[in-house]
Every structure is written in structure tokens, then in C-alpha cells.
Amino acid sequence: MTAPGTEALLGEVLGRITEERLRAAAVDVTDIPSPTGREAPLAHWLADRLNRAGLVAQAQHLDEHQANAVGRLRGSGRGPDLMLYAPIDTLTTGDADLDVPWIGPTLRPDMLPDAVVGGPFVTGLGASNPKGHAACILVLAEALGAVGARLDGDVVVAFGAGGMPTNSIAASGYPGRANTGHGVGCSFLLERGWHTDRAVIAKPGDFIAHDEVGLCWFEITVPGIHTYVGSRHRLPYANPIVTAATVVTRLESWLADYPARHRTPTAAPQGVIGAIAGGWERMLAVTPAECRIRLDLRIAPGTTPVAVRRELASYLAQLGTELGVDLGLDLVLAVPGTHTPPDSPFVREAIDAWERTNGRPHEPVADNSGATDANILRARGIPTVRVGMPKVVSDDFEVDFSRGMNTVDVRAMRRLCEVLARITLSTTRADETH
């Protein structure tokens, strides 16, 4: 669906979005460290770039260290407003004192906030997810500003802090707030009035997604008896660490079967045990009185956190009876899944933009289990779609989870920019029925 003059304007915009500009933007944002809770330097840099591009922009502080960047390119006021959104915080920090040994024995070069260019690739901490996606929105915003855009609706360009699934980082120079991740920047943005009629979030996945899984974090408490190694043979003995090992093994089997019970046409929500704690590392001569297991359980759109808590509690009650222990359970975090109706005009416009860019029919991708700030946007009443880039592929290096997060292909960036540009020009038109 193309209005008169749209293709000409699209050509002007795309003419300014070159691989060279995208590569430079990817390098720039990767070189500015932005672990969750310390995004302010990158937010200020992005706000400055938006202001120079002709948008009215600002760095929006949550506290001294954490900030969003947001700007507005004003249209004529006759059409609907669109938000182009990307988070900017990295999943890990790039600091060996904080990341090692859990990420591996050492930090590889791609795990550091130092961009390296090799052919079509830019590598560095978060170079693809989220920073390559944010760079695409930045370069598109600059192109729209340069051509004077001539849009009917406003375009809000937003870069959100705290988009990663993490609580606060316990280290010097980081906020003491617990709520530094899980979409806190996006929530703050909307609380401060930056609402639009619809939104696009740029996050990995080379398809148009109209829904997201949500997530619940649970803490399971395994009880035991505090005692001393010298008295193990003389006093009652029940080591919760040993019991927890059995609970973890059984729980892992339960998690493997969980997706089949909650599958939807687009989602196969997964679960993973992410942490276990119990005992004094400084004093191994004694057993702790309890052991704690923490897990992330994804939930399908339409499933409530309370329903999933009851399902897990029922299983743990049965398991506790078998093991002769009273297993505790607490829901410690919840972000429900959301959806935008797949037959809505906005979703259809986004799919049309993807198909025009890629020259082939769009096919929905099933079995998704990734959550993004799209859940925050939809939960606040803003119809939202997600679109992004595929994971990088190369014969020259192995692409594991971290390398996929930390390597971006500028050719894929250019394709994503075209999809985003087409969505922007089509969905901000005054003559469009939404």
C-alpha cells in the first residue's frame, strides 16, 4: 500500500543510508560502554546526534548513571505518530571482574566494548544486540531529518535504558536500585509522556512479530539442617545442597516438558535454572540451613504469572512429598507477555514493508521464547511490532550465543533500515486507516 510520492521520498531517505554510515554508527555505539544501569554516556551521545539531525532530543535521566535518549521529528500533525525504539544496554558488562568466570575463563575480544571491523562485520560487546539495531534507528532518524521527511505524523526516536533481563549489578558506580533492567527505561519514557499511536522495536529476528512471551522469575527454597562436619555422624544431618541437586535434576526434566503445555502459534516458552546459592564459601566446614534455586520461566501471551506460579507450585508440592522436604516457592519478578492483533492494519503495514524489502512473502516464525521491551509498550496500550536482523552467519568464525550478540553484518543493517523506513513512511500517513 503506497501513497503518491511515498516511493520518491523513500528513495531520498534510503539514498542517505549507506553501509559506510551504518558501519560507522555501529562502531561508535559499540565503543561507548553501556552495561545495564550505566547507559548515560551513550544516551547523551545519541541525544546529541539526534539534535544535530534536526530532531528535538534529550537524554532522559533515571538517576545519575542511567538514562534514555529520546527525540521527536515533528510531522504536520495530520497523521498518526510512530515510535522507533531500541534498547541500548548490554547483557554483560565487558568487565572481567564482573563477567568472569560465569561467561567463561576469560573475556574474548568480542566480549569487550571495543569495536573491530572485519569485512562486512562489526564485532564488539553488544554490536548486534542491541547496539546494531539501535544504530539502524539512529541512521534512519538522521536520514529522515536530512530530507525534511515531510511526514503527516510525528516520529519519536527512543533509545531505552535497562532493556536487559537483569536486576541491579552489585558493583561500584552502578545504581543501587533493584529495578535497573526489565524495561525500566521504557516504562520511565512512557510515564514521562512519550506516547505514540504505535511503535516498532528493533530487536533480533528477521521477521515481523506481533507478540512476545513474558517472563517470571521464581526462587525455590530447599530446607536443611545447619551442622558441622565434625558432628555429621553424631547429630541430625540433612544437607540442603545435596537435596537441591535432586530438585534441580527433576526440575530440569519438568522444564523440558513445559513448552509443549504452553505452545502457541508463535511461541514455545522455555525455562532455565539460572542460579543456585547455598552455604558460606569462606567456611566449608558447615552446612547451610537452606539452599536457594532461581529460574527464569517464560510465559505465553495470555498466560498470567499467577497461573504459572500455581502450576510450578503444584509440581514442587508433589516433588517435596517424594523427597520428604517442604520446598518453598516465591515469584520474585513478573513481566506478562503481550500481543497486538495480527490482523490489525498496523501489523499488515509492517508485513507489507518487510515483503517489499525482501522481495518474498513473509512467513511467521514459530517457537519464539525471547522477551523484549515490546511487552512494556503493548502493556501501556501502544500497538507494537518487532523486527530485526538475523543472527550473523560466517564461514570465518564460530557463532555461539555471545558471538551472535556481539557481531553485526552491515548488509543486514541496510535491509533492516529499509524495512523500518517503509514502515515509518506508510504508517504515519494521514490518509491511512488504522
| Tens of pLDDT, residues 305-314 | 999 999 999 9
What value does the mean pLDDT take over residues 15-25?
98
- pLDDT of 400 above 80: yes
What value does the mean pLDDT take over residues 347-370?
96
Q: Which helix (H) or strand (E) holds 59?
A: strand 56-61
Beta partners for 331? 218
pLDDT score at 432: 46
Amino acid at 145: G
**In the block, which residue shows the cell 560465569?**
102
pTM comes to 0.95
- pLDDT of 433 above 90: no
For residue 105, give the DSSP letter: S
At 1, the pLDDT band (50, 70, 90 cuts) reads very low
| Tens of pLDDT, residues 216-229 | 999 999 999 999 99
Share of the chain above pLDDT 90, in %: 94
At 361, the pLDDT band (50, 70, 90 cuts) reads very high
Hey, what domains does the chain have and what are their CATH numbers?
A: 6-212+338-427 (3.40.630.10), 214-335 (3.30.70.360)
- pLDDT of 117 above 70: yes
| Tens of pLDDT, residues 167-186 | 999 999 999 898 999 999 99
For residue 111, give the DSSP letter: G
- pLDDT of 2 above 70: no
- pLDDT of 197 above 90: yes
- Alpha carbons within 13 A on the beta-carbon side of 242: 7
Task: State whether residue 331 is helix, strand or coil.
Answer: strand
**Distance in Å from the first CA to the final CA of the chain:** 13
The beta-strand segments (E) located in 247-327 are: 271-277, 290-299
- pLDDT of 287 above 80: yes
Share of the chain above pLDDT 70, in %: 97
Residue pair 165/46 in contact by the 8 Å Cβ criterion: no
- Alpha carbons within 13 A on the beta-carbon side of 44: 10
CA distances from 146 to 15, 54, 270 (A): 11, 8, 44
pLDDT score at 431: 60
Q: pLDDT averaged over the chain?
A: 96
What value does the mean pLDDT take over residues 348-369?
96
Q: Which helix (H) or strand (E) holds 83?
A: strand 82-87
- pLDDT of 430 above 90: no
| Tens of pLDDT, residues 221-269 | 999 999 999 999 999 999 999 999 999 999 999 999 999 999 999 999 9
**In the block, which residue shows the cell 555429621?**
232
CA distances from 186 to 101, 189, 191, 234, 273 (A): 31, 5, 9, 57, 27
CA distances from 275 to 93, 311, 322 (A): 18, 21, 23
| Tens of pLDDT, residues 320-356 | 999 999 999 999 999 999 999 999 999 999 999 999 9
- pLDDT of 391 above 60: yes
Question: 40-52 and 19-30 helices cross at what angle (nearest 10)?
Answer: 150
Please, which residues have CB within 8 angstroms of residue 63's CB and are 6 or more apart in sequence? 175, 177
